[in-house]
Amino acid sequence: MPAKGQEWFLLPEHPELSPASAWQRRGERGADAPEDRAMQPVVFIARLVGPLFVVLGLGCLINQTVYADMIGQAILVPVVIYLSGLMSFLAGVAMLNGYHAWTPDWRIIITILGWLLVIAGIIRIMLPTAAAVAAISIYSEGYAIAIAGIIVLVIGGFLSFKGYRAATT
């Protein structure tokens, strides 16, 4: 019995036209076999993180004064530092559980980002005052948010390209 919505695959008068028989006719497992259509974890992570970083980078570049104000206010509230540390740590651990390999290609970016998020989370959770002092020293320069925005935008664009291009290659 097919799953709901998959009834159109049933062709009793022409069983040779079913998707499974198409793979069998090829004599080998084709590139579009069900086993190969499963998305690799690194591609899934790139597809999530890439667009998020693009939006964050553009937000930093378009609204630099707003972001500077948000950072200035956030470092004054210890609970915000703590909660951002929890979220950062959790996101990093999730990324590393999804993909963690030191490969000599684009996928190493996912591993590095995962470790950076874990380390940033640990610092914010265990040393919130040090995190606040670091944020003050880093973001006290007017151009720091623009530089951060450009870096995040470039990484996000690259990961989006790699993540969404993987479906066509």
Residue 87: inside a domain, yes or no? yes
Residue 41: inside a domain, yes or no? no
Question: Which structural domain, as residue segments, surrounds residue 86?
Answer: 63-161
Q: Which residue in the block uniquely carries the two structure tokens 């530092």?
A: 81
Q: What does pTM read for this prediction? A: 0.74
Sequential pLDDT tens for the chain (169 residues): 555 554 544 445 555 555 554 444 444 444 444 445 567 999 999 999 999 999 999 999 999 999 999 999 999 999 999 999 999 999 999 999 999 999 999 999 999 999 999 999 999 999 999 999 999 998 888 899 999 999 999 999 999 999 999 765 5
Residue 12: inside a domain, yes or no? no
From the list 73, 70, 74, 64, the residue with the least C-alpha distance to 141 is: 64
With left for phi above 0 and alpha for psi between -120 and 50, is residue 67 left, alpha or beta? alpha
Residue 140: inside a domain, yes or no? yes
Residue 14: inside a domain, yes or no? no
Residue 44: inside a domain, yes or no? no
The count of structural domains within the chain is 1
